[in-house]
Amino acid sequence: MKRRSYLLMILAFWLPLHVSLAQPRAFRVLAFYSTNVEQDHVDFARQALGFYASKARKGHFAFTSTTNWDDLNVVRLKSVDVVLWLNDSPHTQGQRSAFEDYMQHGGGWLGFHVAAYNDADTNWPWFVEFLGGGVFYGNNWPPLPALLHVDDETSTVTKHLAAQFMSPANEWYIWKPSPRLNENVKVLVTLDPSNYPLGLKDTVLAGDLPVVWSNTKYRMVYMNMGHGDKIFADVHQNHIFEDALLWLHSTRKVTSKPAVAPHKR
């Protein structure tokens, strides 16, 4: 009896130590946004910060945010598992280069709405390839709700969505060529053609409009949602914002070695 108690005591001390060594470190998310951009884009960014902060509190991940895009540097990104771009993108060559290096070495990215904007003046070919080849071509105006359909209901990103659903008012973007034409791109959600013509001042008349997709060469998801303060109004759609982040987490490469080497005796 005495010997059994002794063994239990040893186990009680030994187990927590070794369990903590075996656990992967916390999943860390860093969100970038800007306050000097279009007000509707700031509104979305602020709501997204609240949304992800509340999800983080429930224990999924550590969440921080910054308006300092110089935090997009090689040293800072070493301790980040996924970066969020909430309606803005890098402003300098140094920030761009650090992001390329990060993504090419297994970094994670979740980008929203105008974060993926690029045109003839953007002059960042790597980023266009990263997105799957699409260049911004146009949009509807004013922002309107739209019927979306899920391309892959088996994906972890879309698993909580119905096959079709009404998405709250958004400014929907056209990309040319459609990212779907890229063999590395997995389209997850698409604007349903029944929405056409979509818009009043600026009207989208036709075409293939992927809304959420991943370029499978990278750990990335892009979502076109992100204009205005209505995006988080739909609890059904909100699942995808959390599920995409958790999916990026699940694709993170975790080494089998503990982060801190045990002390030598």
Strand 144-150 relative to strand 164-170: parallel, antiparallel, unpaired? antiparallel
**Rounded to the nearest whole angstrom, what is the least distance from the CB of residue 246 to Zn ion in the complex?**
26
Helix-strand-coil split of the chain, %, nearest 5: 35, 25, 40
Report d(CA 97, CA 224) in Å as an integer: 24
**Rounded to the nearest whole angstrom, what is the least distance from the CB of residue 38 to Zn ion in the complex?**
6
Report d(CA 243, CA 159) in Å as an integer: 8
Neighbouring CB atoms inside 10 A of 181's CB total 13
**Rounded to the nearest whole angstrom, what is the least distance from the CB of residue 227 to Zn ion in the complex?**
3
Bridge partners (DSSP) of residue 83 are 30, 109
Amino acid identity at 146: A
* Pair 153, 163: CB distance under 8 Å: yes
**Rounded to the nearest whole angstrom, what is the least distance from the CB of residue 150 to Zn ion in the complex?**
23
Whose Cβ is closer to Zn ion: residue 222's or residue 247's? 222
Neighbouring CB atoms inside 10 A of 57's CB total 10
**Rounded to the nearest whole angstrom, what is the least distance from the CB of residue 33 to Zn ion in the complex?**
14
* Pair 204, 196: CB distance under 8 Å: yes
Residues in the chain: 265
**Rounded to the nearest whole angstrom, what is the least distance from the CB of residue 41 to Zn ion in the complex?**
6
**Rounded to the nearest whole angstrom, what is the least distance from the CB of residue 167 to Zn ion in the complex?**
14
Whose Cβ is closer to Zn ion: residue 55's or residue 227's? 227
Bridge partners (DSSP) of residue 185 are 215
Whose Cβ is closer to Zn ion: residue 151's or residue 171's? 171
Residue with CB nearest Zn ion? 227
Which residues of the chain form contacts with Zn ion (CB under 5 A)? 171, 227
Whose Cβ is closer to Zn ion: residue 86's or residue 103's? 86
Assigned token pair, 154:
């088996």
Whose Cβ is closer to Zn ion: residue 124's or residue 136's? 136
* Pair 179, 185: CB distance under 8 Å: yes
Whose Cβ is closer to Zn ion: residue 101's or residue 202's? 202
Whose Cβ is closer to Zn ion: residue 227's or residue 249's? 227
